[in-house]
Structure 1
Amino acid sequence: MGLLFVPICNHLSSSLTLLGFSGNQEMERFTKEQEDALHLLVYLQKLKFIDFSKLQSFPAGLQKLTNLKELSVYSCPVVRSLPEDGLPKSLQELNVKYCGNSELKQQCEGLVGIIPNIRL
């Protein structure tokens, strides 16, 4: 999480296509600064959240990642819903098979037919 700062993301914005966040057992939400930095990664194609036992929500503004093709969630049992402001229209794969939360999976069922590949 320490890499999500505007200067670093500005530097990586033209080349980073895959980003995974993993293993933070204390983090409950992204800060506004972290969300703003994430939005700079305009070429990001794959985003993964792995093993966040207390994370309550996805970062706001994911729909701003207009090149995002894949979103995966593994072992994030407290995340109960997709971002309120929606997902990018470019998203082709949504993987919540191992998210650990039935409410999130149920919400994703409503996207079948909208997102080409959904793994529940």
Structure 2
Amino acid sequence: MGKEDNTSDNTSAESSSYSDNGTTFTVTVNSSKYYIDGILTKSLILKKGYTYYFDSTDSTTNNHPLFIGTNSSGGSYTYEYTSGVTNSRTTNETLKFVVPSDSLSTLYYNCGNHAAMGGSITIL
């Protein structure tokens, strides 16, 4: 995890830790679940304007095409989020995500072939 983001709206202060710009996450699959950097369905915190890489080159990701979505279900591409995404639906490549300034506040990483494999992405 990276930096602290301290913001104030005159009524409260929020402090959240987010991943550094340029972070590469290692993606693997075990027991029909994604692991990010060895952690089962790891929740991620990403920052608008930053670039992130999801390395899906491990052989365990074969038949588990990774994509970013607006819904946690997975299993199809119905809720695929493509803004800022390169190599969506990848199994043997690296997915690149440049978080847009107008991104939704919550996204998900999912498998296009199987439901309930992924985890949440909070956008700051």
Question: What range is the shorter-chain TM-score in?
Answer: 0.3 to 0.5
Higher share of residues assigned helix: 1
Q: Which has the higher strand share?
A: 2
TM-score (norm 2): 0.33
**Greater relative contact order, per chain length (Cα 8 Å cut-off, separation 6+):** 2
Q: Which structure is larger by alpha-carbon Rg, 1 or 2?
A: 2
